Structure 1
Amino acid sequence: KLLEDYLDGMKIEEDLRNLLEKYDRETAAIEIALGVSKRMHARTGDISRAIDSGLRVGLAVLTEAVLVAPLEGIGGVRIMNNADGSEFLSIDYAGPIRAAGGTAQALGVLIGDMIRRELGVGRYVPTTPEVERVKEEFGLYRVGLQYKPPPEEIEVIVRACPVMVNGEETESQECAGYKEVRNIVNKNNTPRTRIRGGVMLVIGEGLCLKAPKILKHTERLEIPGWEFIAQFAGKGKSSSDGDEKVKRRVISKVDRYMDDVIAGRPVFGEPGEPGGFRLRYGRSRATGLAAAGFNPVSMEAHGGFISVGTQLKTERPGKACAATPCIDLDGPTVLLQDGSYRRISTIEEWRSCSAEVISIWDSGEVLSGFGEFLENNKDLVPSGYNRDWWAADLADALDHPEKVDEFASILGVDRDSMPPGIPFNGAIERGGESNLERSLRKREWQLYLRDMELSWNQACHAIKEYGAAVPPPWNFWWSDMPMSFAPKLIEALCQSEFKDGCLRLCGAAASWSPNSHFEDIGLPAPSTGEWPGWTMVHDHGVVKSSLMTLGVEHHHDGDDIVIPSAWEGLLDGLGLELASGAVRVVVDAGSHINDRVSRIREATDTIAKENERAEEIESVRTVERMRAETAARQRGLGISETDAEGRAAAAAIEDSGPDDPSLLRAAYALLDDHEVERSLWLVRKLSNLRWEDSVPCRVGSRMGRPEKAGVREMKPMVHALYPIGESGGPQRLLGQAAAKVSIRVEMGPRTCNKCGKDSPHLRCHHRLSEEVEECGGKTSIRNRRGDQNRRRMGQRTSVPLSKIVETKRRSLGLNRIPERIKAVKGLISIAQTPEPIEKGILRARHGVSVFRDGTSRYDMSDVPLTHFKPNEIGTPWQRLAELGYSHDVFGEPLGSDEQMLELLPQDFVASRSARQHLLSTCQFVDDLLIRFYKMEPFYEATDELDLVGHLGIGLAPHTSGGVLCRIIGWTNASAGYAHPLFHAAKRRNCDGDEDSLMMLLDGLLNFSKAILPSGRGGRMDAPLVLSTRIDASEIDKEALNVDCGWSYSKAFYEGTKSQPHPSELENIVDLVDGRVGEVGEVRGYGWTHDSGELDAGPRNSSYKTLETMEDKMLAQLAIGRQLRSVSAARVASQVIESHFLPDLRGNLMAFTRQKVRCVKCAHSYRRMPLAGKCIQTTSSSGTGLGTSQEGGTLCGGNVVLTVSEGAVRKYIKITSEVMETYGVDDYTKQRVGWMTDSVDSLFNDDKVTVMTLEDFI
């Protein structure tokens, strides 16, 4: 349907269905493209058209026929000539090809090559200027690319690719070195001198980045000429040879998300830094498809910047996520003014103590599913040992009823109070049980084991009996604490007292205060020179710093530190025990620590010696390389030959390797283990229990875009897609234009089929007689010579607007029309036919704006949802029962607002902020049906409940296909909740983007292809097609990687310890992909952690509620000061470097190059008129022709600047304050000072001072 204009009536539906049943999507796209091109060539004999149609069809199949890339991403296909006269295929790519993604871009080139082989077209043989032109364009291209290839890679690809990757000019900047190049021309043979963005995208993000996928198809299909792609497919892969020192356990830090820190958007954690969010595997009802879960207290505690739908740029697993609440996660742990250190569990508790917070020591947990790592092709990171893993260990061990009875006796509870059966796959009773009963039984056991309350003795008994590890709250953050802190902590514990169930460390807080600082902490400096900054040991001393680094909750009582609970794990882990009210040593830690420290020092010395030896060899090689290159230059060799001579000379210096390779590998392994485990190694030596790392991974993050829920409007806002030129004044008011009686505007020529007169409207506006209001006949396009070569078909036309508006008022039955109806200056569609002016009048009457395609839309951030309660969405259960919700997720009949229901795949929960807009849109549609179409109203909606059950269209801006949905409720969040399959059907995930919602009838009545812009990309963000039913096998594959199980197994948690690729554990995790073709692909999803209230946390991000940029910036730096995992000084420096300085420089340039504008007629000038006022000639309008008169008067309006001084200076003051308060490096200070001086020299009057020679003596 999307490509019917290109297929010339050719039917391909059955062929495509058969291919998709037989092959994967990529292979099916290749086969259908070849078939279509051959059939089109046989039908028309036109090779270019045949290749064009086949290529577009193949690209449409790759993109599920909802993206605009097949329509707008390919500008055209041409058969051109090589230098020797042979023919080759050139494909023109345009900017919208970006929407297709790198894989589809690269496969498009491959499909084009296969088609040209089938049709006998030769291969492309580029000339040197054509190669160099692409290199120059990559150097000048400033739009973000995922990968920017170096010149040598560009040369390989352009010379080896059998198809010419050509493109339309997309940027304003022209090339200089290779401006006019053969074959880089438009269809009329005029040279393309500007940058071609489509070429950059296809080569950089397509052929380079997606080379492995291309290689897979070229090898399988044995396609010649694509051997070059192998060198890019293998790029970046780590070698598996014997030279690798050792496989590191340390989790690599990814700092890419820190590249562009924006003012007012805080950093929540630096890469892998202790204190940042701790990763927890799982999925809540509102996570998955890139969305992540956070405790609502954490959302509130981080300055209120994190709200539902807020985008966070993250370190892993993906580049970004949308935030949603999850109450089963740990909240933040904070240090207060009185020395108390505790975890905050409720928002009420946070609000009561927020003013006393010195530091947010730990941000809490972030929830991310296994499927996120699989989708992003990132290695798993080790799971922390939390209650989920503890429950999985116990569930795996309790595989027999006798073991369950024994476990009940350990807990001291009746067996009847525990869940039925066993937490195993076996049936409860003979005869079996249904899949639902089995999954619910396992879920009940999982929750019971996870949430049960235990004493230390019960936990120890279970650990020894069933092989589990020490669970929270006794499993502290041992891998965070430097091992050298342990002796001081053990000493303080040995001197402690046990009283009233608490452990009291006597005198441990004697010298502590909120502003204390200890120069001498009683420990020798570490080998690295200083203790890690996140220990803050010089601010709090060794003992208190150790307790906080371990996450041990405590408070101060005079000079004492009191640990009220979970101290048993602290004692056991350090080889201590409580006997007769006193702490005594069971296992001496000193010998273990000394031995470990000695071995670490030896390993450090071994590595240092090896590094010194390698540096010496490299120094010799550098000298030889320089000597050889100098000799080559003296012989007159070129750059490449000189470089080859230098590399050969350096390679001639042999490296014999380390003296003892095994010793070196052991040294690296020891330091790697120590960096991962720190004090955890010591704990495992001192304790008889099993200990697993509770904090192996922190996830760095910063705020991206704030959440959004707002009307989608044109800029400026428009009611009517009706042209009025300059007659409506700066605000483009229809009433002001109508007051001029007649106006001259550009519209497409149309002829009335009834009266034969010309009328630019869809319905003839002429009056046949005084008794008849208007002709009303249907008009058709009047063809003119040369229309097929015109971009737009409009012509200057005289329109009696005043009479038309009056006639429409009467026909609509209105007493008066709205005063402020905003129209457009001109139409940019191909036919330039306006929509009926009645629609604009009625929209203004109901306060509804229009988008460029004729629809009215509301944007909301995308958030996933699989389950909900009726009371969470404000819809009574009785109404939901009418909509098809008959049973809850546990199989019980629906009869309460508290029951948990599974969301149907195409149901939508909209933001409450959209209520008024949607109600107004419905009232406008009803008014349109009654007054314009003379029909009965449809919606008759007066409140939000009336909208429940009505259909809408979801549309992503980079696509051209809408997806049918049904509104079933409302949320207070500034986001739209929908099923992951629904978001994927729009070709979206939930990483912080927003999509639009429109009412179905509004789209059906008011959308038209005829009013879409004619320019490139005009068909983007328009519902050209509508998907009425979602098929999981036909949507974006990211949705198939969503977790849908109720829990993870013990094997999964154990498997993450080795940091495997997700594909190695895919078979033990319940994903949507494993359910495709069954009912389970859309129903029966599970979740591992509860969300709580769907709209918990701040209603809106602080970024939206704070008014000025100064307030936002100060709040950003204030939260940076509180977060242990963030350096406020680094954030301040990065904001200045990446935001303020580029903005200041850009505004300064814009001021010097700005145009001036008339405030009266809105005409702009490149230079200020000498008259000092507007010299535009105004036209005389009136009845008749309404043409401009020769003696027209000058406008005379005031001419003003379009860029003000305030816009240039806006960040200078706050930049200076930030530098003074937080400090930045000298280089940044000098850059700011230089830019400030430049601004001052532009705006300040320089006073001339008369000086003599004596002034210089």
Structure 2
Amino acid sequence: MDNHISAVMRASTPLELSKYYEYITSRVKEEYELASRVRAETGSPVPVVEVSLPSDMAERVEVLVGPRGVASLIRDLLEKCDEDILPFRLAETLLKRYDRINDDALSQVLKVSLAVMTPPCITAAPTEGITGVKIKKNNDGSNYLAVYFAGPIRSAGGTEIAGAVVLADYIRRLAGISKYQPTDQEVRRYIEELRVYRRKVGRFQYNVPDEIVEFVLRRLPIEITGVATDPIPVPAYKDLPRVETPYLRGGALRVLNDGVIGRAKKVLKIVKVSGLDGWEWLEEVAAKLSEAKSTGKNTGLDDVVGGRPVLSTPGRFGGFRIRYGRAPTTSMAALGIHPYTMRLMENFVVAGTQLRIDYPGKGGIAVPVSSIEPPVVIFRDGSVMRIDNEEKLAEAERSEYKILFNGDILISFGDCVENNVKLQPPGYCEEWWIQEALLEESRKGRLSDEDRRWLEKIRRDPYRIIPPVEVACRISHKLGVPIHPRFMPFWDRISGREIERLRRWLASAIPKARKGWGMLILDYDPEAKSILEKMLIEHLVLDHKIALDLHWVKSLNFLFRPFIRVDVSKSSVPELISSLSGTSFRPRMGSTVSARVGRPEKAGQRRMKPPVHVLFPVGMAGGPQRDIITAANTRSVVLELVRRVCLTCGEKTWMNRCKHCGKPTAMMAECPRCGAEYIEPEQEKCPRCGEELKRTWKQLVNLKELYENELMKAYEPPPRVLKGVRALTNKSKQPEELLKGILRANLGLYVYKDGTIRFDAVNAPLTH
């Protein structure tokens, strides 16, 4: 509590950021102390705040996972090694402290190491996702390690489900335990179990062929098993001696299917950090998955849910173009989408929408970024428009249109590192162009003062400063670099024959063309029109004429030289660009990703159904709204509530404080058979006769008096309605204080079933 900002944080952050952290910390401490005083003074069932405030990750691990003293060990190791290797060094150090290696010791070491691997240690994976570790016997008599997984290991937690298996193998080797040797029946049991789970429970994030599952199971050095998570028996291989349950093991299945196999590349990354050998077969698994994907066995459309649109398919020209970088609105697992793309997709994608993608990971949330390439659409009359301002967007929304190009999807380079994937070639973009131009100018120094000034302007803001087309052509010609991306067609899928056809059309149409509205109006040619569409070149169709912006006319004239009499139909596009314009070819579209709308996200208060202000029972007296104010009009109501007793005066009540002497009360229980009474009993049954103890009783509660007294304490106007519950569902039947409900009702807040006020928010990681 005294030091919430570690010395490491203070040393590694700017002064302003340290002050910001200190401000937040001091305010949290104030609120925490206030809540503690209120708990102590108001007779709350628990007189202290249950949630502790650890000072750093190390203390959080010790509080949640243990063992005692591990926080100081983690801090010491952090000074000696990087965070990536910390879980493995911690496992090694902890294991040496045990005189005897048994199941409990191995389980503790694995959970602590996994908690450190997944900072800030707030997921349920280390504490509840792993139920235990056992040393079991292979058929040849050797020992092997089995890790038992449960439901809280979720597919969404990529690091924990991938890292848990690698950590377990590392610990296995430290303990000198042999590898797992699966039997044929155990392998078939897994395959059958995966099928049944998909059919009767739910889908996995990755559709893995049976042959890959078998390939992995026969090479895993540990057994991935677990407790039953669903009351559905496996139809075959359910009575195996080393598998304790005949029911589906959901946690284990997810670790195998979505962890080890589905995230093979991430597992490989962790393996390389740990220095483990014997996992080379994972590269083959990753290759087989990629092959299955590329051959159509796994298109990404197998588990599409109705009502969630598919925005682009794998490798589709015009899909979301990969662009690497970060904006102020993006960071890890956040994907930048142009806001005009969101609007054109009729707001199926908005800020915070979860997108399922095929690269670099499985998904992320959409956030608007206006400085990336915008979408291109085609209208019913054949006009093609780049939607780069509000006027064009409004025109598109008033008309019928088809999206030819979704625009860019901004992907953080860190996501590629995190997912251990190869970088896909991006399309040519402004930040790439300016670097090439600056490099060539530093080498050749051929630009005029005016052109150098333009380069300097663009260097300062390459996303918004666009040079005139004449300047772009001059820079490209003098330096031999590609033309500025703003004037470069999307020529990735164009052939030499098509460019030759376009050149001939330009050569014949330009001399006869007329100017108007900043455009050149050319004779209509259906084949040339199709090529312009294919290259996403903006143009209008007017009275059976094609109107091209003058900057496109100048750009195409510079790139394709239509008035030079030479046939380039048999040349490749890079060759003809180099020979005609003397500049280099760059792919404009580059790589695209598949994308579809994932699970809908929301931001709002989480409420019970129907909503409740206070967890206080009213029975049928509150009417259909369970209104405590209405129930108070009947004065007294019989309610089943907790048994409590005042240890000072002996008064039996349900309240936390005795209404006679004001002292705290204690919970009690009574044996219905022998009548024995117990204070704060830990056992469930009577020590005398073995009968189950009764901890609640039906009591006559004067709701009118109680409500009026609580209202006086609140110093608040009476709420219009105060919604309670019909009956309490918790075992002890301990109600909340009405005072809390009065305050919530006046503030428009509602309580959740665990007694907390909850607000669901979209987790949007921001760079700045």
TM-score, length-normalised on structure 1? 0.48
Distance in 2 separating the partners of 1:275 and 1:218: 37
Supply the AA of the counterpart residue of 2:490.
W
Equivalent residue in structure 1 for 2:554, among 543, 564, 568: 568
Q: Secondary structure at the match of 1:863?
A: coil
Equivalent residue in structure 2 for 1:346, among 389, 395, 400: 389
Q: Which residue is 1:802 aligned to?
A: 701
Distance in 1 separating the partners of 2:353 and 2:275: 47
Supply the AA of the counterpart residue of 1:549.
K
Deviations 1:816-837 (A, max 9, x none): 56534133744457x6644434
Distance in 2 separating the partners of 1:285 and 1:270: 28
Equivalent residue in structure 2 for 1:467, among 480, 485, 488: 480
For the aligned residue pairs, the C-alpha RMSD in angstroms reads: 4.4
5 Å-filtered alignment, 1:1173-1184, equals none
Distance in 1 separating the partners of 2:275 and 2:767: 44
Q: Secondary structure at the match of 1:141?
A: helix
Q: Please say if residues 503 and 564 of structure 1, whose CA atoms lie closer than 8 Å, have aligned partners that are also in contact.
A: yes
Q: Secondary structure at the match of 1:543?
A: helix
Q: Secondary structure at the match of 1:96?
A: coil
**1:692 and 2:733 correspond:** no
Distance 1:447 1:253, change over 3 A: farther
Distance 1:800 1:211, change over 3 A: same
Distance in 2 separating the partners of 1:21 and 1:726: 62
| Offset at residue 571 of structure 1 (A) | 2.8
Q: Which residue is 2:448 aligned to?
A: 407
Supply the AA of the counterpart residue of 1:14.
S
Supply the AA of the counterpart residue of 1:447.
D
| Offset at residue 195 of structure 1 (A) | 0.7
Equivalent residue in structure 2 for 1:819, among 709, 717, 721: 721
5+ long unaligned stretches in structure 1: 186-191, 245-250, 424-442, 510-540, 577-583, 597-677, 868-1257
Distance in 1 separating the partners of 2:272 and 2:362: 31
Q: Which residue is 1:847 aligned to?
A: 748
| Offset at residue 48 of structure 1 (A) | 4.0
**1:197 and 2:245 correspond:** no
Equivalent residue in structure 2 for 1:476, among 486, 489, 505: 489
Q: Which residue is 2:459 aligned to?
A: 445
Q: Which residue is 1:266 aligned to?
A: 309
Q: Secondary structure at the match of 2:431?
A: helix
Q: Secondary structure at the match of 2:461?
A: helix
Distance in 2 separating the partners of 1:471 and 1:163: 55
| Offset at residue 753 of structure 1 (A) | 3.7
Q: Secondary structure at the match of 1:177?
A: coil
Q: Secondary structure at the match of 2:750?
A: coil
| Offset at residue 170 of structure 1 (A) | 0.7
Q: Which residue is 1:231 aligned to?
A: 281
5 Å-filtered alignment, 1:352-501, equals 352-399=395-442, 403=445, 406-410=447-451, 445-447=459-461, 451-456=465-470, 458-496=471-509, 497-500=512-515
Q: Which residue is 2:27 aligned to?
A: none
Distance 1:866 1:746, change over 3 A: same
Q: Please say if residues 744 and 796 of structure 1, whose CA atoms lie closer than 8 Å, have aligned partners that are also in contact.
A: no
Supply the AA of the counterpart residue of 2:612.
V
Q: Please say if residues 372 and 463 of structure 2, whose CA atoms lie closer than 8 Å, have aligned partners that are also in contact.
A: no
Distance 1:480 1:378, change over 3 A: same
Q: Please say if residues 88 and 274 of structure 2, whose CA atoms lie closer than 8 Å, have aligned partners that are also in contact.
A: no
**1:712 and 2:609 correspond:** no
**1:51 and 2:65 correspond:** no
5+ long unaligned stretches in structure 2: 1-58, 669-678
Q: Secondary structure at the match of 1:49?
A: helix
Distance in 1 separating the partners of 2:503 and 2:176: 82
| Offset at residue 279 of structure 1 (A) | 3.4
Q: Please say if residues 336 and 409 of structure 2, whose CA atoms lie closer than 8 Å, have aligned partners that are also in contact.
A: yes
Distance 1:98 1:760, change over 3 A: farther
Q: Which residue is 2:130 aligned to?
A: 74
Q: Secondary structure at the match of 1:173?
A: strand
Q: Which residue is 1:172 aligned to?
A: 231
Q: Which residue is 2:345 aligned to?
A: 302
Q: Please say if residues 732 and 825 of structure 1, whose CA atoms lie closer than 8 Å, have aligned partners that are also in contact.
A: no
Distance in 2 separating the partners of 1:469 and 1:194: 62
| Offset at residue 68 of structure 1 (A) | 1.4
| Offset at residue 319 of structure 1 (A) | 2.9
| Offset at residue 280 of structure 1 (A) | 3.3
Distance 1:483 1:236, change over 3 A: same
Q: Which residue is 2:69 aligned to?
A: 11
Q: Which residue is 1:542 aligned to?
A: 527
Q: Which residue is 1:508 aligned to?
A: 524
Q: Secondary structure at the match of 1:394?
A: helix
Distance 1:364 1:161, change over 3 A: closer
Distance in 2 separating the partners of 1:161 and 1:841: 57
Distance in 2 separating the partners of 1:150 and 1:448: 46
Q: Please say if residues 35 and 54 of structure 1, whose CA atoms lie closer than 8 Å, have aligned partners that are also in contact.
A: no
Distance in 2 separating the partners of 1:552 and 1:221: 51
Deviations 1:288-339 (A, max 9, x none): 3232333332222222333222233334333333333333234333334555
Distance in 1 separating the partners of 2:729 and 2:387: 58
Q: Which residue is 1:137 aligned to?
A: 193
Q: Please say if residues 289 and 864 of structure 1, whose CA atoms lie closer than 8 Å, have aligned partners that are also in contact.
A: yes
Distance in 2 separating the partners of 1:252 and 1:453: 43
Q: Which residue is 2:115 aligned to?
A: 60
Q: Which residue is 1:860 aligned to?
A: 761
Identity of aligned residues (%): 30
Distance in 1 separating the partners of 2:460 and 2:190: 58
5 Å-filtered alignment, 1:976-1015, equals none
Distance in 1 separating the partners of 2:142 and 2:730: 40
Distance 1:106 1:277, change over 3 A: closer
Q: Please say if residues 269 and 420 of structure 2, whose CA atoms lie closer than 8 Å, have aligned partners that are also in contact.
A: no
Distance in 1 separating the partners of 2:538 and 2:208: 51
Q: Secondary structure at the match of 1:349?
A: helix
Distance 1:695 1:714, change over 3 A: same
Give the aligned length. Answer: 681
Q: Secondary structure at the match of 2:317?
A: coil
Distance 1:800 1:256, change over 3 A: farther
Distance 1:587 1:291, change over 3 A: farther
| Offset at residue 759 of structure 1 (A) | 4.9
Deviations 1:22-57 (A, max 9, x none): 234464324434544564x55xx8944333332322
| Offset at residue 15 of structure 1 (A) | 1.4
| Offset at residue 167 of structure 1 (A) | 1.7
Q: Secondary structure at the match of 1:17?
A: helix
Deviations 1:1166-1197 (A, max 9, x none): xxxxxxxxxxxxxxxxxxxxxxxxxxxxxxxx
Distance in 1 separating the partners of 2:591 and 2:214: 41
**1:785 and 2:683 correspond:** yes
Distance in 2 separating the partners of 1:409 and 1:221: 55
Supply the AA of the counterpart residue of 2:709.
R
Distance in 1 separating the partners of 2:609 and 2:531: 57
**1:313 and 2:343 correspond:** no
Q: Please say if residues 640 and 696 of structure 2, whose CA atoms lie closer than 8 Å, have aligned partners that are also in contact.
A: yes
Q: Secondary structure at the match of 1:478?
A: coil
| Offset at residue 67 of structure 1 (A) | 1.5
Distance in 2 separating the partners of 1:221 and 1:200: 24
